[in-house]
Amino acid sequence: MKFTLSWLQKYLKTKKSLSNICEKLTMLGIEVAEVIDNQNFFKQFKIAEVTDVQNHPNADRLKLCKVNDGKFNLSIVCGAPNVKKGMKVVLAPIGTKMLDEDFVIQKSKIRGVESEGMLCSEKEIGLGIDSDGIIHLEEKAKTGNLLSSLYPSEKIIDVEITPNRSDCLGVYGIARDLAASGEGTFIEKKISKVKGKFKSKINIKISKEAKSTCPVFYGRYIKNVKNCQSPDWLKKQLQAVGLKPISALVDITNYLTIDCNRPLHVFDADKINGNLEIFLAKGGENLKTLDEQDYKLSKEMIAIKDNKNLLSIAGIIGGVSSMCELNTKNIFLESAYFDPVSVAKTGRLLNIETDARYRFERGVDPESVSIGIEEATELILKICGGEVSEVTSDGKIPINKKKIIFDINKIENFTGLKISDKIFQSILNKLGFEVSKNGSKYKLSPPTWRHDIENEADIIEEIVRIYGYDKIPSQSIYISNEKKVNNLCQTRELNIKRSLVQRGLTETVTWSFMSNKNAKIFGMNDNLEIQNPISSDLDVMRQSIIPNLLDAVRYNIDNGEEKVCLFELGPIFDSKFENNQQIFLSGIRCGQSKKHWLKKERPYDIFDVKLDLETILRCCKLPPKSYVLNNDAPNYYHTGKSGSINFLNKSKGGFFGEIHPDIIKQFQINSPVYAFELNLNTLPHEFVENKKVFNSKNFQKVERDFAFILDKKIQSQVIIDLINKEESKLISEVNIFDVYEGEGIPEGKKSIAVSIVLQPEDRTLKDAEIEIICKNIISNVVENTGAILRKK
Amino acid sequence: MSEELENLEKQIEEKITNATTLDELNSIRVEVFGKKGLITNHLKSLTELPENERKEKGKKINNVKNKINTLLQQKNKNLSDSEISQKLQKEQVDITLSTRPFEEGKLNPITQTIAEVSTIFQKMGFETALGPDIEDDYHNFTALNIPPEHPARQLHDTFYLKGKNNKLLRTHTSPVQIRTLEKKKPPLKIIAPGRTYRADSDITHTPMFHQVEGLCLDKDINMSHLKGCIMDFCREFFEINDLPVRFRPSFFPFTEPSAEVDIGCFKDKKKIKIGSGGSWLEIMGCGMVHTKVLKYSKVDASKYQGFAFGLGVERLAMLKYGISDLRSFFDSDIKWLNNFGFSIFENIEKI
C-alpha cells in the first residue's frame, strides 16, 4: 500500500525524520518496501507540445510526431492511439530513468525511424493505471516546464501490510500504530453526523438468508449533486499513491478507502429502479461490471439488486448499469459490512481482484460503516454540493465485544521480557484497547478495527511489537551431548551420496514433476496429474527419476558435454505407495571415461552402473550375499542388458541396465545410456556380519584355474554357486577371470575361466587331497550344467 | 725376482685403475687369478723353490694377492655403483605427468546446505523429521490455522492434484510439524528439510524449492530461546561471529507472535556482502507456535509452548556461496554443478 508523508502527517503529529519513521514502521511489522521522492523523479520529465503527427512509413500502428519541448523540435515515434496535433504531453527526454530503474530512455531507431525520447502514459510515470494512451495535459500546462512544476513535492511510502492487519490498510491506522510506539501524537478524526433533510427515496432490505453475510448496510440519498473533476488537492493526493482521478464522486470513495480502509460505493440513483435488496444469488444471474466484464453468479454469492436488475457483486465490484458519470445528478451512497469469508469465496470463484475485495476479505472495521457514510457525505457536500437525506439502513453493526482475561506475568513467561503495568496499559490504551484491572488480572477488550486480536498470545504480540522485538533477550540452546541426537536417515543418505560422488557421479536435483509426454514414452500410466501445472512440461508427478535425468543428459550433450554422469536422491510418486511417494536413488551414465595416457578411454557399460548400485548397497551394509539378481527390469530398460535387485526378504530393491534404445532415440540421445535406481524405502535392515575368527597360523594356500565350455545362457553366478557348494570352508575365493565367445568355441556356447583359492586353516593340503577336491568341483559343475572342462 | 713381483703388482694396479667396466675388471681378475693367471703362476712356481725361500716368497706373493684383491673389490663396488646409478638415471620418468584418472563427482549445493543447517541444529538438539510431499488440505493449511478462504492461502499458489480430493503439493514444510505431533508428544525438537512447491515461476521463483522447518516444544521455551537459537544459527551458518541479526514483527497464521529475521549486509549495485554494512536482508520467518496449532495437534497449550521457524535452502545457499540465479539450481547443467557443487572433502568439517 502506498501513502504520502503529508497524508500520514494529517493523523500523526511528529518531528521525526522520514527515515526514522520508515525504520519504525518496519520494526512495527509494517515493512517498508520503498520510499519514493516524486520530485526527483518528475524533474526528469518535460511538458511538451505535439506540433505534427504523420503516419510511420513502416508500421501501421506507430506515428511519427514532431514534439516541441520549449527549446527544440524533436522527432519521436509514438504508438499511442490518442496522440494528436496540438496536444500537451509528458516527454521523457533521452537519459530519463523510468520507474523500473533499469529502463533508461535512449536515442533509438524504431522500425527504421529515429526517435529522440518517449511520450508517457499515466502508468509509465506512476500517476495511474492507464497504459492505453499517453497523458493529455491541460491546455494551461506550460511547454518547456518540468513536470515537477505540476506536482507538489511528495514523499511516497510503499508498505507491505500483513493479512492480519487490515486496520493498517488505511493511513489512519498506520498513524495510530506509529503513535503508540512513540513516534508522535495521534490526531483523532472528529466526525459529526450530517443531518438529513428528507427521507431517502431508496430503501434497503437485507434478505433473511443474507443477514449473516451482510449484517449491516447503510445508505443515503443525495440529490442535485454536481459531479465534476476533483479539486487539485484530491487529485494530487490520489495520483501520488498511484490512483487515477476519475470524477469527484468516485475519487472521494477512493480517498476514504485509502484514508481509513472504508470501502464505499456510489450508485447513480436515477438508474436504480425502486429499492435495494441485498440477497444471496440463486445462481445464473449475469452482471456487466465497471471493468466491462461479464460475470455469472453462482449460488450463495452475495449481491445487490433493485426491483428490476442486478446492480452489484457486493463487496467486490459494482455494475456498469448503475454507475456514476459526470452528468450524474442524484446519487445513492453505500456503506456496508460484508463477511470476509463470503467475499473471499466469491472473489476466488469469479476470479476478480479488486481493491474492495482485498479489503473486505481481510476484514474492515464494522464501526466504519456508520462513520464512513458521514465522512463521505461531508466530502460530497463540500465538493459536489447537493441535499442529503437521512441515513437509511438495515441490520445492525456487528460488534463482537470479546473480553480477554490476561495475566501480565504471561508476557515474561512467553517472551523472557518483563513489562511494567504502566507500560502495558499505556501501549494498549494507545492502540485503542479498553483496559480494566480486576485483582491480579486484566480484562481487555480490543477495538473494533482489530478483529485479529483473539487471545493472550495476540496481546503479548501487541505488547512486544510496540515495546520492541529488539528488547527481547536472547538465550542460546546448545546442548552438550549432540552425538545422542538421532539423525540416522540423514547420515545414511549423505554417506550414500558421498560414495557415488567418489564413483564419479555428480548429484543433481530435478523437478518432482515431469511431462505427461515423457511419462507416455516410458509407458507409465496412472500418473498423479497436477490440476494446475505451470506448463505442460511439468504436468504429472514423476513415477521415476530416470526421465528427468535423460532430459538432463540431452541438455548437457546439447551444451557440448561428452560424458554425463548424474544421480539424484528424491521422491517418486504413485497412488499405490503409502502417502503416494517413495524415496528413490537413481543415476545415469552416458558417454565414456576420459582419455588418458595411462588408461585407454572406454565407453560406460552396464557393469559401471552395476558397480554404482553395489557401492550404494555396500554403503548401506548390504553385501552381495544379501540379494539376488533377476532379469526382470521394467520395459524401459534394454531387455538383454538389465536386471533387478531382489532382497532376501522378497522386496524388489531396484534396477540397473541400459535404457531401451527406442526411448533414448525419442529423447534425441545418440549414445547408449546406462541407469540404476534403488528404492530406499524398501531397503532391508543392515546385514550384520561378525568378523571371522582370525587364524594366525599360516598354512600354504592353493590356487587352481579351470575353464569350462558351457551353454551361453547359463549365468556365471550359477557356476560360482556350484563351486562354493563344494568344500565351502576351504574355498576362500572364486574369481571369474575370463569370459570368451567366438572362434574355437561352438555356436551358442561360451568359455568361462575360473580361479579358485583354497585356504586351509588347520593343515597343509596334500597333493592327493587337492586332486580330489578339484575333481569334485569339476564334476559338480559338469554334472549340473552340462559344461565341458576345457583342456589346457 | 722380487723386482719382477713389484713390477707385476704395479702393472696390475694400473690395469685395475684404468678399468672402466665390470666386464673389463672381470677379465683382469681372470688374468691375475685364473688357472693360468699371473699371480696363480707365481704361486705355482713356489713349489719349485727351496723351503726357506718358499716361505719368504710365499708371504710376499700373498701380500700382493691380498692387495690386488682389495683393489679389485673396491673397483668392483665403484664400477657397479656407477653402473646402477647410470641405469636408474636412464629410467627417469616425467613425474609431472598426471596419475591414472580418478573421476570424482560433486555433491549438490542443496545437499551441502541442508547438511550444514542440520549439523548446526543438531548441536542444539534438533532431530530430523520427514513428511510427504503430497499433502492434504488439513495438514498443509487447516491444522496450521489457515482456514479455507483465509487471505494467507492466496499467498500460497498451491498445486492441486487432479481428481484427488484435497490432495495438493505441500506449499511449505510446516505440515511436518503436524505430522510429527501426531506421532510424538512434546518435549521435542525437530527440523524437517524437504521439497516444497508453489505454482509460480519467474526470475525469483521456481515451482519447486527446498525449506527447512524447525519446531521446538517444551514447558519453558520462550521467545528469548527462539532469538538465541536463530541468532546462533545465523552466525554459525554464515561464519561471522558478530553478524547483526534483527527480529521484526510479521504475520504467519501458525505462529503468534511472529517474526521475520533479517541479517546484516552490505549492499551496492547488484552485490551483497553478508556482515555489518548498514543494510538488512530477510532470511527466514519464525515465531511462537500458535495455540490453535497446538490444539489441532492435541498438545496441551497450558503445559507446553515453543517456537517454530522455516527457512529457504536455496536462498541460504545463494547468499553463502554466491549463486546468483535461483533457477540454475534445477537446470542439471554439469558446468554449473561442477562450479557450485562440493567435492566430498570440501567443507566436510561443517557437516
Which residues of chain B does A361 touch, with a Cβ-Cβ cutoff of 8 Å?
A: 149, 151
Nearest residue on chain B to A497, judged by CA atoms? B107
Nearest residue on chain B to A417, judged by CA atoms? B224
Q: Please indicate, yes or no, whether residues A279 and A369 belong to a single structural domain of this protein.
A: yes
**A599 has pLDDT over 60:** yes
Q: Which residues contact A787 (CB under 8 A, 6 or more apart)?
A: A708, A709, A710, A711, A714, A719, A781
When the pLDDT of each residue in chain A is averaged and rounded to a whole number, the result is 91
Q: Which of B148, B257, B334 sits opposite A465 (nearest CB)?
A: B257
Contact A501 B337 (CB under 8 A): no
Which residues of chain A does B232 touch, with a Cβ-Cβ cutoff of 8 Å?
A: 476-478
Q: E strands within B198-244?
A: 208-218
**Residue A477 in domain:** no
Nearest residue on chain A to B257, judged by CA atoms? A461
pLDDT bucket at A512, cuts 50 / 70 / 90: very high
The CATH code of the domain that includes A782 is: 3.30.70.380
The enclosing H or E element of A113 equals strand A113-115
Compute the average pLDDT of residues A401-425: 93
B235 Cα to chain A: minimum distance (Å): 12
Which residues of chain B does A475 touch, with a Cβ-Cβ cutoff of 8 Å?
A: 224-225, 227-228
Taking only the tens place, the pLDDT of each residue in B63-95 is 888 988 899 999 999 999 988 999 999 999 999
Q: Which of A469, A530, A548 sits opposite B162 (nearest CB)?
A: A530
A469 Cα to chain B: minimum distance (Å): 6
SS3 A766: coil
Task: Please calculate the CA angle A241-A243-A245 and round it to the nearest 5 degrees.
Answer: 125
Q: Please indicate, yes or no, whether residues A219 and A285 belong to a single structural domain of this protein.
A: yes
Contact A565 B105 (CB under 8 A): yes
pLDDT bucket at A234, cuts 50 / 70 / 90: very high
pLDDT bucket at A792, cuts 50 / 70 / 90: low
According to the model, what pLDDT value does residue A125 have? 82
The CATH code of the domain that includes A31 is: 3.30.56.10
Contact B101 A341 (CB under 8 A): no
Q: Which of A473, A487, A511 sits opposite B207 (nearest CB)?
A: A511
Which residues of chain A does B207 touch, with a Cβ-Cβ cutoff of 8 Å?
A: 511, 513, 534, 538
Contact B133 A534 (CB under 8 A): no
Can you give the pTM of this predicted structure? Answer: 0.86
According to the model, what pLDDT value does residue A697 have? 77
When the pLDDT of each residue in chain B is averaged and rounded to a whole number, the result is 91
Taking only the tens place, the pLDDT of each residue in A257-279 is 999 999 999 999 999 999 999 99
Report the range out of A224-228, A564-568, B196-200 with the highest average pLDDT. Answer: A564-568
Q: Please indicate, yes or no, whether residues A225 and A373 belong to a single structural domain of this protein.
A: yes
Nearest residue on chain A to B165, judged by CA atoms? A531
A477 Cα to chain B: minimum distance (Å): 6
Taking only the tens place, the pLDDT of each residue in A267-321 is 999 999 999 999 999 999 999 998 889 999 999 899 999 999 999 999 999 999 9
According to the model, what pLDDT value does residue A490 have? 81
The number of domains in chain A is 6
Compute the average pLDDT of residues B299-327: 95
- For residues B118, B121, B125, B126, the Cα torsion angle rounded to the nearest 10 degrees is -60
**A539 has pLDDT over 70:** yes
CA distance A672 to A603: 9
**Residue A194 in domain:** no
Contact A165 B251 (CB under 8 A): yes
Contact A559 B335 (CB under 8 A): yes
As given in the structure block, the three cell numbers for residue B308 are 517454530
Taking only the tens place, the pLDDT of each residue in A171-202 is 999 999 999 999 999 999 998 899 999 999 99
**Residue A122 in domain:** yes
Q: E strands within A648-774?
A: 652-659, 673-679, 702-711, 731-740, 749-758
Residue A272: closest CA among A298, A308, A241, A299: A308
**A511 has pLDDT over 70:** yes
Q: Which of A502, A559, A597 sits opposite B333 (nearest CB)?
A: A559
A497 Cα to chain B: minimum distance (Å): 7
CA distance B300 to B297: 9
Contact B151 A362 (CB under 8 A): yes
A448, A363 Cβ separation under 8 angstroms? no
Of A268-282, A759-773, B47-61, give the lowest mean pLDDT range. B47-61
Nearest residue on chain B to A548, judged by CA atoms? B332
Which residues of chain A does B163 touch, with a Cβ-Cβ cutoff of 8 Å?
A: 529
Of A96-105, A208-217, A354-363, A641-650, give the lowest mean pLDDT range. A96-105
CA distance A751 to A757: 20
Q: Which of A457, A490, A508 sits opposite B257 (nearest CB)?
A: A457
Compute the average pLDDT of residues A410-419: 94
According to the model, what pLDDT value does residue A447 have? 95
The CATH code of the domain that includes A663 is: 3.30.930.10
DSSP class of residue A762 equals: S
Q: Please indicate, yes or no, whether residues A522 and A658 belong to a single structural domain of this protein.
A: yes
**What Cα–Cα distance (Å) separates residue B33 from each residue in A589, B21, B62, B77?**
72, 18, 12, 19
CA distance A55 to A277: 53
Share of chain A above pLDDT 90, in %: 67
Number of H helices, E strands in chain B: 12, 10
Contact B248 A26 (CB under 8 A): yes
Contact A556 B163 (CB under 8 A): no
Q: What is the 3-state secondary structure (H, E, C) of B79-143?
A: HHHHHHHHHHHHCCCCCCCCCCCCCCCCECHHHHHHHHHHHHHHCCCCEECCCCCEEEHHHHCHH
A13 Cα to chain B: minimum distance (Å): 24
Omega of the bond prior to B187 within 30 degrees of 0, cis? Answer: yes
ipTM for the whole complex: 0.87
Interface test with B, best of A161, A355, A477, A568 (most B CBs within 10 A): A477
According to the model, what pLDDT value does residue A491 have? 85
CA distance A116 to A91: 10
Which residues of chain A does B115 touch, with a Cβ-Cβ cutoff of 8 Å?
A: 490, 494
Which residues of chain A does B161 touch, with a Cβ-Cβ cutoff of 8 Å?
A: 528-531, 541
Region of residue A726 (phi > 0: left; psi between -120 and 50: alpha; otherwise: beta): beta
Phi and psi at A658, nearest 5°, equal -85, 140
Taking only the tens place, the pLDDT of each residue in A237-259 is 898 888 888 999 999 999 999 99
Q: Please indicate, yes or no, whether residues A223 and A368 belong to a single structural domain of this protein.
A: yes
Q: Please indicate, yes or no, whether residues A603 and A712 belong to a single structural domain of this protein.
A: no
Q: Please indicate, yes or no, whether residues A32 and A50 belong to a single structural domain of this protein.
A: no
**Residue A193 in domain:** no
According to the model, what pLDDT value does residue A129 have? 67
As given in the structure block, the three cell numbers for residue B261 are 529475521
B266, B278 Cβ separation under 8 angstroms? yes
B69 Cα to chain A: minimum distance (Å): 45
Contact A529 B161 (CB under 8 A): yes
**B268 has pLDDT over 80:** no
Q: Which of B149, B222, B338 sits opposite A414 (nearest CB)?
A: B222
Q: Please indicate, yes or no, whether residues A252 and A379 belong to a single structural domain of this protein.
A: yes
Which residues of chain A does B200 touch, with a Cβ-Cβ cutoff of 8 Å?
A: 534
- Residue B343 CB neighbour total at 10 angstroms: 15
B297 Cα to chain A: minimum distance (Å): 18
Q: Which residues contact A440 (CB under 8 A, 6 or more apart)?
A: A407
Of A546-560, A733-747, B171-185, give the lowest mean pLDDT range. A733-747
Which of A362, A395, A428 represents a domain boundary (last residue)?
A395
Task: Please calculate the CA angle A41-A42-A46 and round it to the nearest 5 degrees.
Answer: 130
Which residues of chain A does B305 touch, with a Cβ-Cβ cutoff of 8 Å?
A: 414
Contact A594 B103 (CB under 8 A): yes
Of A106-120, A499-513, B135-149, give the lowest mean pLDDT range. A106-120
A599, B100 Cβ separation under 8 angstroms? yes
According to the model, what pLDDT value does residue B1 have? 52
More confident residue, B193 or A152: B193
Taking only the tens place, the pLDDT of each residue in B123-182 is 999 999 999 999 999 999 999 999 887 877 776 789 999 987 789 999 999 999 999 999
Contact A512 B195 (CB under 8 A): yes
CB pairs under 8 A between A and B: 255
Which residues of chain B does A548 touch, with a Cβ-Cβ cutoff of 8 Å?
A: 332
B87 Cα to chain A: minimum distance (Å): 23
CA distance A110 to A108: 6
**Residue A121 in domain:** yes
Q: Please indicate, yes or no, whether residues A297 and A437 belong to a single structural domain of this protein.
A: no
Compute the average pLDDT of residues A18-42: 91
Q: Please indicate, yes or no, whether residues A463 and A515 belong to a single structural domain of this protein.
A: no
Beta bridge partners of A265: A334
As given in the structure block, the three cell numbers for residue A411 are 508476557
Q: HSE of A740 in the Cβ direction (CA atoms, 13 Å)?
A: 14
**A11 has pLDDT over 60:** yes
b/e string for B94-108 if b means 16 or more Cβ within 10 A?
A: eeeeeeeeeeebbbb
**Residue A647 in domain:** yes
According to the model, what pLDDT value does residue A182 have? 94
B217, B306 Cβ separation under 8 angstroms? yes
Residue A617: closest CA among A689, A572, A680: A680
Q: Is A250 exposed, middle or buried (0-12, 13-18, 19+ CB in 10 A)?
A: buried
Q: Which of B106, B126, B161 sits opposite A506 (nearest CB)?
A: B106
Q: Please indicate, yes or no, whether residues A242 and A260 belong to a single structural domain of this protein.
A: yes
Q: Which of A470, A474, A598 sits opposite B228 (nearest CB)?
A: A474
Omega of the bond prior to A245 within 30 degrees of 0, cis? Answer: no
The parent domain of residue A120 ranges over: 44-145
Interface test with B, best of A32, A427, A472, A488 (most B CBs within 10 A): A472
Of A536-540, A566-570, A663-667, B156-160, give the lowest mean pLDDT range. B156-160
**What Cα–Cα distance (Å) separates residue A136 from each residue in A89, A91, A94, A122, B197?**
6, 11, 20, 9, 46
The enclosing H or E element of A252 equals helix A248-260
**Residue A454 in domain:** yes
Q: Which of B167, B201, B224 sits opposite A415 (nearest CB)?
A: B224
Q: Which of B110, B122, B154 sits opposite A509 (nearest CB)?
A: B110
CA distance A335 to A265: 7
Contact B133 A512 (CB under 8 A): yes
Q: Please indicate, yes or no, whether residues A533 and A601 belong to a single structural domain of this protein.
A: yes
Q: Is B169 exposed, middle or buried (0-12, 13-18, 19+ CB in 10 A)?
A: buried
The CA R_g of chain B, rounded to the nearest whole Å, is 43
Q: Which of A416, A477, A541 sits opposite B223 (nearest CB)?
A: A416
More confident residue, B330 or A108: B330
Q: Which residues contact A19 (CB under 8 A, 6 or more apart)?
A: none
Q: HSE of B167 in the Cβ direction (CA atoms, 13 Å)?
A: 19
**Residue A196 in domain:** no
